[in-house]
Structure formats: C-alpha cells, structure tokens
Structure 1
Amino acid sequence: MSTTAPSSRSSDRPSSVVKAKFARSGRVDIAVLVVTYNNAVDVDPLVASLRRQIGELTVRVVVADNNSTDATVEVLAQHDDIIVVATGGNLGYAAGINRAMKVAGEAEAFLVLNPDLVAADGALAAMLARSRSHGVGAVVPLLLDPGGTRNHSLRHEPHPLRSLGDALFGARLRWRPGWLSELVFAPTAYEYPHPVDWATGAAILIRAELARSVGSWDERFFLYSEETDYCRRVRNSGATIWFEPNATMTHRRGGSGLFPALTALMQVNRVRYARIHHGSWAVATLLPILILQSALRVGQRGHRLALLALVSSSHRQRLPGRRTRGHD
C-alpha cells in the first residue's frame, strides 16, 4: 500500500484560508454593534480580530455608519457578511447604537464596540461567560493602549467631590482616594473581576433581556456621558456591571476624532448628566467646578471652548450634536 498522502481537493475538506463568517440571520451568541464615522483605517483590524472569535461562539456584526465622508463604507462593503446600516447623518454614538440594535436580530448578548478597537483572542468568550454569572447584566473588558499599557477605563459614579479632585489634580496624584476622582487609578482594580459603577463606553457587553428592559441609549448626549447614563440605568434595574480582566482589547483612542469641540462637548454633557439624574442642585454645584477645571487648562483650545460653552448657551449650540431647546 502506498504511503503517499492523497492529494487534497476543495471538495474533500474546507480550505484553511477560508475566512470565518459572521452570521447574518438566526439567533447568535453575540451581536456586535459598531458605530462608525470616518473610520476607514480602523475597520479591517477590528473585523479581523472579531473573525478570530468565531468557533465556540456564533457572532453577528452590525455597523451603523454616521454618514462617513472617507472610505469607511467602501471598506465595509468588502465584507459581505457584515450588516451595514446607513443612519443618514452624523447622529451621534447613542443614536448609532440604537439604529444598529434595531436590526441586530436575536442574540444572547449585544456587544457595543468602538471601531478603533482590536479584540484579543478569546475576549468575547470571556465576556459572555462572565455575563452568565448570577446577577450580572453587563460586562466591560480590560482596555490596553497600543503600547500595551493599561487604560484607566473604569469609573466611579460622578459626584461633585470627584469632579473637584479631577479638576485640581487631573491624572496626577493617582494614589488619592476614590472620592476625589472619577477615574479608578488603583492598579489592583484592573487585576481581578469585580463589579464597577461604569466604564468607558468603548466596549460593553449587555445581556439581551437587560437591553430590552433598560431601553434605548439616550440620544440627547450625542457623544460622551451616554455610557454613564446607560450604566446608571443598568444598575437601577438591579443588575450589576462587571469588569472582566481576562477579556482584553487594544484601544487606539481617537476613533471619534481629536477635535477641541469634543473636549467642550464632554464638559457640557457632564452638566447634562447631572441635570437629568440629580437635578438643579447638582448642576449648581458641578458647574463652577467644571468652569474651574477648564480655566486651569485654558492654554488648551478644547478647554477654552469648554469655558465658553459652559457659560454661554449660544456657544453650546455650536457644539457637535443635534440642536435642542432650553438649557441643553
């Protein structure tokens, strides 16, 4: 008998070079929701990292494009197993998530991802496994900068004292107590799984039944603080948000753009969040702290714009986002 191996034919077994495919229909383990706006350089690395998750998991990818003017849509079109939704304008991050979720179909969980992320192998499986623990409603991963440094992505619930600490010290004095910073600096907090108040909205997995009960993301925020608001509503529902360090993702940061107006928008949305959840007393306390924070950094154009936006409604109306009436 000949010991020569038979020649392989495409009809005999699948080729090793055939890429893993995302499911466009049917129930899946995870439906990934991505919002793009001029992210042509980010799409392929993200998609490649998501394809590597396919095996034990079934995955669907839905991208809501906020009217990109670069080649984002053309790059996405090269992936025929991705569902692309054209929102018809730059509607903001929350609105994009809502549009994507409407067509995401049946899934055990939804994973909201920034387009400028790359997921490490096994990240999605680790997040889904954690979400199956009793009482867990949402899961956030460990985020790394491109050089491998941990991103301080975990946050405490906003409070005027924490805002004051951040206004005065910024990223300095990282050993200060948690009641003096919204950011979680403690290195040990990034080493083990535990419940958190909230985390940066770059990556968050939400159980599907919880997403249905919590409702849509609040489109009044356009960009920034929408994840703070959503995570607060998750906690108010009785579910917990868990940090899972065994799920790692690299975050390029800057996928939303690095424009001075976004710094101003971030400050304004902190006031909006305080008004929605805490009322006028919180705004009266927080507003002078944010004015102080931007005044101390007035050499930065973004904070100069923030100063104007915090004190002038006409300047607030010039920031990115939908035009609204009243104090917003």
Structure 2
Amino acid sequence: MTILVAVVSYNSERLLPDLIAGLRSGLDGQKWHLTVADNASRDGSVALVRTLAPEATVLEMGRNAGYAAGINAAVAASPAHDAVLVLNPDVRLTPGCVPRLLRALREPGTGIAVPRLVDGSGTLIPTQRREPSVLRTLGDAVLGARRAGRFRLLGEVVTDPSQYEVERFTDWAEGSTQLISADCWARIAPWDESFFLYSEETDFALRARDAGLRTRYVPDAHAVHLEGDSRVSPGLWALLTLNKVRLFRRRHGPARSAAYWAALVLRESSRAALGKRPSRAAARDLLTPSRLRETPGPASVIRWA
C-alpha cells in the first residue's frame, strides 16, 4: 500500500519544513511518496523541498495555476499509488493520523476520509459540511453560522460538537487534509480547475457522493491546520463566495440558483452593513454580473499558501 502525498505550494517556504518533518510520524509505517506541485513561488519553496526531501517529486507549474490544477498535476506526475493524501502546506499531521484514515477508507461506500482538525491553539475546527442550499444560506444569514450549524436543515457548517466525537459520513469536508482512495480518484477525478481556489473540494466530494463514494469523518485521526486568511481577506472571501454561486448553478436549475444567489446577497450585505470588509467585497462582486460570469484566476487572489 503506497500513499501519494500531494501538496501544492505557493510562497510556502516558511510552512514546508514542519510539514515535511511531520510526514514520517503521520504516515507511521506506511509506504509513501511526496509530490509537491509549485505554483510559481517567488520564495525558496522549490529549493527547500529538494533539500529537505530529495526523494520527492517536485513539479514546477510555471504559473499560479490554482489549487485544483496543482493537485491534478501532482497526481499525474507521481508513481503508482493506492491512495492520494491531499495536504495544505500549513497542515501538521499527528502520529498515526494516516493509518487511521486508511482504515476508515476501507469501509464500504467510503471514497474520502478526513481527520479531526484543530487550529494552532488546539481548538476544534468545524470541518464537516452539509450540501449548500438556499435554506441553509438563509439560516446562516439570520442566525449566524455557529447557531445555524447546529440544525441539519439550517446550517451548512456542522457546528454541533457532539458530531465531531463519532465517526460518520458528511456531505463534504474542508479540503486541507483528505485521503482519497485510488478507486475514487479514478472514477471522479480530476478536480475541477475552473474554480482556481475554493469549491473545488466541494465539487469533488459531491460528485463522489453522487457516485456512491462518500466522505467519512474520522475522529481518532488528528491533524493541525494553521489555516489561511480567507475569513479576513476581502479578496479571498469574495472569491470563496462567488465560487459557491458557480458551483450551485452547476448542480441546480435557474430558479433555485437565483434564490441561492439572493440568499448570499442578503447574508453578505447584512454583514457588510455591520462593517465587515470581506462581506463588503463579496456583496459587491455578487452584484457585479461580470464577476459572476468570469473564470477566477490569480488576479482574484490576494494571498494564499
């Protein structure tokens, strides 16, 4: 059993040493191979990987091609493997994490396995997600994500702490740490590169679920996600919000898509009125038809790692 560890780097020099250092204990006895797809970093990311992990495959993309494109390229450039471990550079595996995910991946109907994630201070990160819907977006707008998430019909983010203590299926999960079976990858891949950043993991997981390969949350597999700045960066939050609309339109008809867009406008406009700059940027873009039509690219991104 060989695990491909697929990492996309972009100016990630400060994050890569700890990531690489934790792989051996995190994979704990499994045979594995590291492939890093670098999206034209301007720092020393490429040289650092070649120094710290000389056996790794380093793929220089030559441009900032986006997260999905990096994952797809990393998998395509790698030797034969039995599962794909997708990792953000700011993830730190804890000892034994991957063997526990691998055990869960063998359960019937499972295509993706995800761990319990905490942030740098040890606080649980609510990573489980329900499929986006109009009602859930309205619930988020009216009640706030944390309160709405306690109710299955009213929140997209699963926020009930008890749901993080048991192994269970979830519609999808945040994409920083995912173990994907080779069968799931062969049947569902590639990740949709048109999203550039955000919603690509949602799209992949929902398509996998449609094919009978679900995402399994594994509470006894642990990792740390230091997390990026999508919640504080206006550019990243606007991109995340726009991609939610694009994904919803692909899975639903015009009437439901229009209702979903309106619910997002309500949510972001109400938060913008409270002075939240990321929501102000998102509301502006939601109300700009050209932004909804265009394919996002590097110019849409303020910073990501």
- For the 8 Å contact 1:265–1:320, the answer to whether it is kept is yes
Tell me which residue corresponds to 1:15.
none
Q: 1:242 to 1:315 in 2, by over 3 A?
A: closer
Distance 1:283 1:242 in 2: 28
Distance 1:66 1:113 in 2: 15
Structure 2 counterpart SS, 1:147? coil
Task: Give a deviation string over 1:123-153, Cα, whole Å, max 9, x none.
Answer: 0111011111222211011110111111000
Structure 2 counterpart SS, 1:81? coil
Structure 2 counterpart SS, 1:201? coil
* TM-score (norm. length: structure 2): 0.91
* TM-score (norm. length: structure 1): 0.85
Tell me which residue corresponds to 2:239.
265
Q: 1:162 to 1:55 in 2, by over 3 A?
A: closer
- Please state if 1:287 is matched with 2:277: no
- Please state if 1:43 is matched with 2:16: yes
Q: 1:243 to 1:176 in 2, by over 3 A?
A: closer
Tell me which residue corresponds to 1:300.
276
Tell me which residue corresponds to 1:154.
128
- Please state if 1:208 is matched with 2:174: no
Task: State the Cα distance separating 1:300 from its structure 2 match.
Answer: 2.3
Tell me which residue corresponds to 2:297.
321
Q: 1:142 to 1:322 in 2, by over 3 A?
A: same
Distance 1:307 1:255 in 2: 18
Task: State the Cα distance separating 1:305 from its structure 2 match.
Answer: 1.5
Q: Structure 2: where are the runs of 5+ without partners?
A: 300-305
- Please state if 1:181 is matched with 2:167: no
Distance 2:150 2:33 in 1: 42
Instruction: Give me the identity figure in percent.
Output: 39
Q: Structure 1: where are the runs of 5+ without partners?
A: 1-27, 324-328
Q: 1:6-155 maps to which residues of 2 (within 5 A)?
A: 28-78=1-51, 79-155=53-129
Task: Give a deviation string over 1:269-297, Cα, whole Å, max 9, x none.
Answer: 11101111112122210111111111112
Q: More helix by proportion, 1 or 2?
A: 2
- For the 8 Å contact 1:141–1:247, the answer to whether it is kept is yes
- Please state if 1:245 is matched with 2:219: yes
Paired positions, count: 296
Aligned residues: CA RMSD = 2.0
Letter in 2 for 1:127: L
- For the 8 Å contact 1:261–1:319, the answer to whether it is kept is no
Q: 1:50 to 1:149 in 2, by over 3 A?
A: same
Q: 1:120 to 1:84 in 2, by over 3 A?
A: same
- For the 8 Å contact 1:66–1:88, the answer to whether it is kept is yes
Structure 1 counterpart SS, 2:115? strand
Task: State the Cα distance separating 1:199 from its structure 2 match.
Answer: 0.4
Whose Rg is larger?
Answer: 1
Task: State the Cα distance separating 1:53 from its structure 2 match.
Answer: 3.5
Letter in 2 for 1:96: G
